[in-house]
Structures are given as structure tokens and as C-alpha cells.
Amino acid sequence: MLASPASFAVVALTVLAAVLRFAWIGRQGFWVDEGYTAMLVHLSPGKMLALIPKTESTPPLYYCVAWVLGRVFGYGEAGLRSLSAIAGVATVPVAYAAARKLISNRAGLIAAALTACSPLMIWYSQEARSYSLLVLLTAVSLLAFAYARARPTTRMLIAWVVASGLALATHYYALLAIAPQAVWLLAAHGRRRSVQVGVGVVGLCGLALLPLAISQNGTDNASWIGLLPLGLRLDQFIRQFLIGFQAPAQGLIEGIAAAITIVGLLLLMVSSDAIEQRGAFVAGGLAVGGFALGLLMIAGGIDNVITRNMIALWLPAALVVAAGLGARRAGVLGILAAAALCATGIVAAVGVAADRNFQRPDWRVVARVLGTRAAPGVGARAILIERYGELLPLSLYLPGLNFWRHNRATGVTELDIISFTVPWVPMCWWGAACYLIDRGSLRPPPAQRQSFAAVPGFHQVWRRRAAQFTLTRLVSPTPVTLTRLTVSRGLTRTALRRDALMIQR
């Protein structure tokens, strides 16, 4: 039996998605959040599960799968990100199948193309975190929902329950995608016992995760989100769904993507038939319902609304646009507009790969410049990172680093100061180089100081530039007893509260 042209197109789009996700998967170093993933998957399963509530604000399923794959593909950047890349590639045919069932075959092909070329989907397919797996599992639940909505067979309901339960075990904000589907199934087939049982089982899965969610809500893992202005977060949400986080000629690309999206919505209203409109209404209803649920959670005191936590709504929203661009009466105009929207996504993704300032900061180059200690065991090495209070991810590349706590006196023979210069982006939180500047800052920080007063007993031997970083090395021929206070005074600083001061023995 010969494969259909649509099958060949889906395969080609899946291959394109794989190229866009795997081509530069190891180009960027780990950032802080990925550093926690790398740290966790190195542990034994018991220690990992015990530490997740203290370091993460998500359920454990992603880390359990990453723990296994890390031992298969390795713990480097490409190895640990492989799970997200595989999930991102697998989402493409699932998006096609879901849109095909809900809307039409043409809409399915366009939905697959938009998924393959989305800069936001590509970014999280290259990040060792749970978001790409969340998108895949909620996409599978959407596909199962599409079949169960039309005909709630036991097989489709089981598929929906399994996909929904796994999505909730991956990220709590899968609720935004799953809850509207559950409500819709109950509204359409609520008298069926199988539907009642299926929705009940998914509800029990959510309740089983509630104690863990409450314990994690008591930490400050995600408390910073609610401190950011909601209006700016919602503005980011719309823009980042369109073109991702950053891109060359961002204003132009953003304008083109927004214009094409509006064209798709207009075509949906004037060029689609009743079946296409009905399917788009379902997808749009799920997206709007999930968004409204996120806002209701804010009203209830749970404010984690930010683009990455709302990412499960990207696919149903994309299906609405795909329905308009793929409408039968839209003809060539719809196809050309879809191709242009995909092209803007590829341009944005390639732009990120070409510009280091759009990428995650590469602490690997810092570790290479600092190198191993010349005389280990003779005094300690102190490392100060200016205006950046994290031990991770540098400690992944320089083993043996620890925070210099309290005012403990330590014999030091080498003092390395790390500063950085990156373009300022207001409210940067997603891990790109702009994250080196305070993520909650709404105004540019003061210029980084590039000269240092002498620390007693030390002299400067070199200063080097590496990527966004400037590294300065001070040394002493014999160990000098230092405290945090003496380092602060030596660097003409009044406090080190925003800096990471570390010791490597």
C-alpha cells in the first residue's frame, strides 16, 4: 500500500523538526535551571526524588526519564537535552494527527509545519527541562480528546487518561490543558459511566500530586514569578508564543508573525466551512479555557503565570491559526501565509544559533579560561562572580566549588573575578545571556566595573575576555588569610550580597 502525499509531508516536516532541534543542541552551555537537572540526574534515584521538592517546582516524572536517558546518551549538554529534543520532534506528527481529527488534513499539515518551525518549541526542545515533554504529553492528550469527543470509546478514553496523568506528573501547569478537556468531555458525554470514570481517574492523579505541590509551593523555587508585573508577563506571553524569546530584527519578525496570525484568523472567519470552524472553535475553546484557568489561579493566590508554564496552550492556539490558513477556500493565500510564518520561525531560530547574546551564557568557556589550579593543596582559589548570586552552573564545569559562607577565614593564593557585559533586556528570565542581569529588573543596571583595587597581598597577573565574560586573576605567592569582608574591602565594595563568592580547595 502506497503512502499518501500527506504522509510524506509529515515525515519531511518531522525530519525538518529534527534538524532544527538537534543541529545546535550542544552549542550552548547549561544555564542555572539546567544545572539543577544535571545535578539531580547524577544522584541515586532515592536521593534524586528526595531532593526534587527542595530544588524544583515541578513533579518528578521528567527527572526520572532523564535519569535513565542520561545513562544512555551521557551527561553532556547534548546528552541531557536529548529527551527534550526527542519529545519536540515527536510532537510534530501528533500535532498533525490532532489537527486532522479536529479540523482537516490541510490544517493538520500546517499545524505540523508551525510546530516544526516554532522558535519557542525549538528553544525548549534544546533545554534539559520538562517543558518539551509537557508539550508532547498534552499534545497526545489533545489527540485522544479529539477522538473521545467524537466517539468516547474505552480505548480512546484510556489513552486520554494515561496521557493526561503523565502530563500532570510532568508539570503541574498541564492542568491548564487537561482541565478544559475534562470539562468538555463531561459536557458532551457526561452521562456515560466510562467518561465519568476517566475524568475521575485523572482527577485522582491530580489530587495525588497535591501534597507535593503544596510542599513545593512553600519554597521560593518559583516565588519570583509573582513579583514580576502581570501586564508585562502577559505581553511577553503573546509575543513569545509568536517568535520565541529573542531574534535578529526582532521588531520586524514579530510584526510579520503577528500580521500573518491575524490573516489566519480572518481567513478562519471568511473562508472556512462549518466543519473547519467547529474544529477551530474546539481548539480555541480549550486554549481560552486554559488561559482563563491560569488567571483564576492568580485570583486564588497561585501566581506562576509565565510563558513557559503556559506552554501547554501553544498547540491548541496554533491549531486555531492553522485552521484559518488551511481553510479549503483560503487556497494559495493560506498556503503562502503559512509558509511565510514558518520562514519567520526558522529565521528566528537560526538567529539565536548565530548570536551568542541570544543564547544561554556559556560557562564552559569561563571554566576553560580559569583552568585547573596551578598548585592544588597550597591555599585555596576564591572565585567572585559579580552581580550574579548562583553557584550553578559554573560548578558543573569546575568541580569542587562551594559558596564561601559566613565570615570564615580561609588561606587563599588565587582570586579570580568574573564580570560580564550583555545587552539589557527587561524582565529576562528564560536563561539566555540577558539572564545574567537581574531578571526582575525593569531598568538597566549600572555599568560593570572593570578595574579593581588591590586585595592586600595579591597582585593582578592577567585580564581576559571570553564570550560575555571578563576574567581577572589576582595571585599571591603564599596563602593569605581572607574573609568575605576583607575581599569586599579589597575590591572597594560595601557588600557582596548580589555576588557569588566561591572557594575551590
Enumerate the domain spans of the chain. 5-356, 363-504
Please state, in angstroms and rounded to a whole number, the distance separating the CA atoms of residues 242 and 206. 30
Check: CB of residue 14 under 8 Å from CB of residue 87: no
Helix (H, G, I), strand (E, B) or coil at 362: coil
Task: Tell me how far apart the alpha carbons of residues 470 and 220 are, in angstroms, rounded to a whole number.
Answer: 31
pLDDT at 495: 47
Cβ-based neighbours of 198, under 8 Å, separated by 6 or more: 148, 157, 158, 160, 161, 185
Mean per-residue pLDDT, 246-257: 95
- Band the pLDDT of 337: cuts 50, 70, 90: very high
Report pLDDT digits (tens) over 385-414.
Answer: 988 888 999 999 998 898 887 678 889 999
Query: How many Cα atoms sit within 13 Å of 421 on the Cβ side?
Result: 8
For residue 138, pLDDT beyond 80: yes
Q: What is the pLDDT of residues 147-166, one digit of tens each?
A: 999 999 999 999 999 999 99
> Residue 321's pLDDT is what?
98
Q: What gap in Å lies between CA 223 and CA 475, rounded to an integer?
A: 40
Q: Which of 179, 182, 175, 180 is nearest to 148 (CA)?
A: 182
Q: Are 124 and 20 in contact (CB under 8 A)?
A: no
pLDDT at 329 over 80: yes
* Closest to 321 in 3D by CA, of 263, 365, 271: 263
Amino acid 155: pLDDT: 97
Q: pLDDT band for position 494 (50/70/90)?
A: very low
Percent of the chain with pLDDT over 90: 78
Q: Round to whole Å and give the CA distance between 497 and 505.
A: 22
Please say if the pLDDT value at position 47 is more than 70: yes
Q: What is the pLDDT of residue 424?
A: 87
> What residues contact residue 12 under an 8 Å CB cut-off, 6+ apart?
none
pLDDT of residue 440: 63
pLDDT (tens digit, 9 = 90+) per residue, 179-223? 999 999 999 999 999 999 999 999 999 999 999 998 887 666 778
pLDDT at 470 over 80: yes
403 backbone dihedrals φ, ψ, rounded to 5°: -65, 140
What mean pLDDT is reported for the chain?
92
Nearest to 504 by CA among 403, 417, 366: 403
Specify the pLDDT at position 493.
53
